[in-house]
Amino acid sequence: MGLITCMIIEDEVPAIEELKYLLSKHENIKLLGTALDGESGLQMAKKLLPDVVFLDINMPVKNGIEVSKELKENYDTDIVFITAYEEHAVKAFEIDVVDYVLKPFSEERINKTVARLQERLRFKKENNEDFKKQVKNIIKELHTNENTIKKIPCELNGKTILIDVKDICLCFTENEKTYVKTKEKQFLTNYMLHELEGKTGFFRAHRSYIVNLNNIKELYPWFHGTYKLIINDDNNTEVPVSRSNVKRMKELLGL
């Protein structure tokens, strides 16, 4: 039986304590944290990335519907609404929530919710294995020849994301891990940097960086014959060009 991590976002402390007590009876449920309003709860969920959020609907700052929509759109988080009002049920299930539990809570009802979550987790695990197989097949099909590919498989919040090579600004290594950076986001990949260099044709600027020269916006001389590249991303990332690679860079850019 897999471990299910959860959070409670609820503006009534007695309700939080009651739900914590009922969930504590299940060894496979691990509570990561609680929050008393929608906005702080949303920020906490983004950091902790629980499997499921028990979420009240009528709350200050940001209501449960708003919180659930953002979590469902951007994270692989399941939602269980907890509320004293039945009139929100239709809206809730439009968001594809796992369950809708009315207050006051009962042990029997929470047990049913936990059973649903366990089934949901099993379903996700099975589908994730199928998806990984599909990704491998897709990657094989993406090979345009022996060396180059059109997309790079990356990891984000437990999901495999396929990034178009043309959208990548640079790839780099840090703490023995390899990252792919687009204009807006950064992703972890299982490829080694030298593997990405061969598969993308990106310019090797430095031992820790390869760069898509189509996504730079300026460059300037640095110390001792080296250069700096300014990447066309949200952060105007600066990438060093080692002296031994300057000549090749100028050839590629026609300088």
CATH no. for residue 23? 3.40.50.2300
Residue 105 lies in a domain: yes
Q: Which residues contact 48 (CB under 8 A, 6 or more apart)?
A: 5, 7, 32, 33
Looking at the structure, tell me whether residues 9 and 122 fall in a common domain: yes
Work out the percent of the chain whose per-residue pLDDT is above 90.
36
Looking at the structure, tell me whether residues 91 and 170 fall in a common domain: no
Looking at the structure, tell me whether residues 75 and 189 fall in a common domain: no
Q: From CA 67, how far away is CA 93, in angstroms rounded?
A: 14
Looking at the structure, tell me whether residues 81 and 155 fall in a common domain: no
pLDDT of residue 144: 47
Looking at the structure, tell me whether residues 59 and 160 fall in a common domain: no
Give mean pLDDT, residues 42-67: 90
Looking at the structure, tell me whether residues 85 and 193 fall in a common domain: no
Looking at the structure, tell me whether residues 119 and 176 fall in a common domain: no
Residue where a domain stops, chosen among 126, 156, 184: 126
How far is the CA of 89 from the CAs of 76, 84, 92, 95, in angstroms?
21, 11, 5, 10
At residue 226 the predicted structure's pLDDT band, cuts being 50, 70 and 90, is: confident
Residue 18 lies in a domain: yes
pLDDT at 133 over 90: no
Looking at the structure, tell me whether residues 122 and 231 fall in a common domain: no
Residue 135 lies in a domain: no
Domain interval for residue 201: 146-253
On average, the pLDDT of the chain sits at: 85
pLDDT at 252 over 90: no
Q: From CA 83, how far away is CA 86, in angstroms rounded?
A: 8
pLDDT at 145 over 50: no
pTM for the predicted model, two decimal places: 0.52
Looking at the structure, tell me whether residues 42 and 122 fall in a common domain: yes
Residue 136 lies in a domain: no
Residue 137 lies in a domain: no
Residue 15 lies in a domain: yes
**Assign residue 157 a region: left if phi > 0, alpha if psi is -120 to 50, beta otherwise?**
left
Residue 138 lies in a domain: no
Residue where a domain stops, chosen among 126, 159, 194: 126
* Domains of the chain: total: 2
Looking at the structure, tell me whether residues 103 and 150 fall in a common domain: no
Report which of residues 63 and 133 the model is more confident about: 63
Residue 249 lies in a domain: yes
Q: From CA 124, how far away is CA 103, in angstroms rounded?
A: 28
Looking at the structure, tell me whether residues 57 and 161 fall in a common domain: no
